[in-house]
Amino acid sequence: MKRKKQAIGVFDSGVGGLTVFKEIRKKFPYEDIIYFGDTARVPYGPKSKNTVIDYSIQNTRFLIQEDVKMVVIACNTSSAVSLNVLKKMFDIPILGVIEPGAMNAVKVSKNNKIGVIGTEGTIRSEAYTKTIHNINPDVIIYSKACPLFVSLAEEGWANHPITRDIIKEYLEDFKTKNIDTLVLGCTHYPILKTAIQEFMGNEVNLVDSATSILSDIESVLKNGENIEKGKDLFFVSDNEEKFCKIAQDILDIKNFTLSKVKLGETWYVDRL
């Protein structure tokens, strides 16, 4: 893809970030977008903080090498543990999905009872709890890790009967908490959104960061010439065929440019 303009860079641990990509493409049709899915190392959720930070640095360096003007971390686990590190290391705008999702959840909740589901890493970090309480300390938050949701999304099993069984197993407790808002705290989870909504009921608002982050991106973008439609470029670190199949379902496109890359290690050390 030959580009006359810098692109928006997006990275995720796998296919989940395509839910973010899809909303960015819809909102900003004239922007070039480069997506990297780290499919060789998915999922990020069970991995240690330092490992996720190391992967996130590698992902960001790769996107900057591809001449992006900003990086969107379309991964809640990475946003939770690496956003501040990346902001200090790199001199381009870097946006995470935690704060936009938290702000949207507080905005739509009427009874101040919010559920948060995410990967083990995101829930362990308490990033959503801290951010929501910074916005409104009166909110009651119920959090739960739902690690199998990532695997279900990566397998393309959004409509599989076993997915509904696992949703019931994970989310049944939330039905007793009287929550009116549920944060899908992983960009893989919107792939299962229809099944999750069916189980929770229409009275519960589902908040996902894919739509929440758009206003943050808009605030960073400068007005361009908007002469021609934006181009898309996709990279993965493994499993190209599986990525293509799921991407075609999520994005509803048949042909796109996909390349496989291997990222080097950075050996980030947390000295705190």
Task: Dig out the tokens for 166 from the structure.
Answer: 């696992």
Asked if 68 and 6 touch (Cβ cutoff 8 Å), the reply is yes
Q: How far is Cα of residue 98 from the mean position of the Cα atoms in its chain? A: 9
Domain boundaries, the chain: 7-97+212-260, 98-209
pLDDT value of position 271: 37
Q: Could you give the CA distance from residue 229 to residue 211 in angstroms, rounded to a whole number?
A: 21
Class of domain 7-97+212-260: alpha beta
Residues of the chain where predicted confidence (pLDDT) is lower than 70: 1-4, 223-227, 264-272
Q: In sequence order, which residues have a C-beta less than 8 Å from that of residue 247 and are 6 or more positions away?
A: 15, 18, 234, 253, 256
Find where tokens 């949207």 sit: 104
The helices-and-strands tally (H runs, E runs) of the chain is: 12, 10
Q: Could you give the CA distance from residue 23 to residue 32 in angstroms, rounded to a whole number?
A: 13
Q: Could you give the CA distance from residue 228 to residue 251 in angstroms, rounded to a whole number?
A: 20
Q: Could you give the CA distance from residue 124 to residue 101 in angstroms, rounded to a whole number?
A: 17
pLDDT value of position 272: 32
Identical fold for domains 7-97+212-260 and 98-209, yes or no, is: yes
pLDDT value of position 4: 62
pLDDT value of position 157: 93
pTM equals 0.89
Active site residues: 75, 186
- What b/e sequence results for 211-225 when a residue is b if at least 16 CB atoms lie within 10 Å of its CB, and e otherwise? bbbbebbeeeeeeee
What is the CATH number assigned to the segment(s) 98-209? 3.40.50.1860
pLDDT value of position 252: 85
Pairing verdict, β 33-37 and 232-236: parallel
